[in-house]
Structure 1
Amino acid sequence: MIHFLVHDENDSCGVVVVEGIKAGETLTGWVMDQDKTIHVRVTQDIPIGHKLATKALAEGDTVIKYGVDIGRVVAPIPVGAHLHVHNVKTKRW
């Protein structure tokens, strides 16, 4: 079963595509461009449609999704953490 999608192996996050993800679960993700699977143990509950970190990110790092810069990390994000507005901000303003 695929739990999250990643566009490219260089992306730093994936999008959860199933309901009910709970902290401590090990999820399977599909890296679409390379057609391979990866596994990530989640550290927090993550709602469907939200992002999870597939790489550890430090404050000030750039988050890459679909090969595109989607924001700046404002608080450290470990692998498997919920990546959302509490730890990522846009660079636009």
Structure 2
Amino acid sequence: MIHFVLHDANDCVAVAVIEGIEAGKNMTAWIMDDDKMMKLDVTQPIPIGHKVALKDMAVGDTVMKYGVDIGKVVAPIKKGEHAHVHNIKTKRW
């Protein structure tokens, strides 16, 4: 079963595509551009449509999603954590 998707192997986050993702679970992510799978241990609940961090990120780091710069980290994010508006902000304003 696929739990998360990402386009590019260099993305920092993947998007949850199912409901009910709980902390402490080992999940599967599909890297669309390479048609490969990867495993990820999730450390926080991730709502459907929200992002999970694929690596540790520090304040100021650029967040890549679908091969595109979507913003910067404003609070540290650990691999497997929920990545959303509480720890990522757009660079547009």
Q: If the TM-score is normalised by the length of the shorter chain, which range does it land in?
A: over 0.9
Cα distance in 2 for residues equivalent to 1:84 and 1:63: 11
Is residue 40 of structure 2 the alignment partner of residue 17 of structure 1? no
TM norm structure 2? 0.98
Matched, 1:8 2:8: yes
Aligned residues: 93
Q: Is 1:67 paired with 2:72? A: no
Task: Specify the SS of the correspondent of 2:19.
Answer: coil
Q: How does 1:1-93 map to 2 (within 5 A)?
A: 1-93=1-93
Q: Percent identity?
A: 65
Runs of 4+ in 1 over 6 A off after TM superposition: none
In structure 2, the gaps of 5 or more residues are none
Structure 1 residue runs without a partner (length 5+): none
- Distance in 2 between residues matched to 1:65 and 1:87, nearest whole Å: 15
Q: Please tell me the root mean square deviation across aligned C-alpha atoms, in Å.
A: 0.6
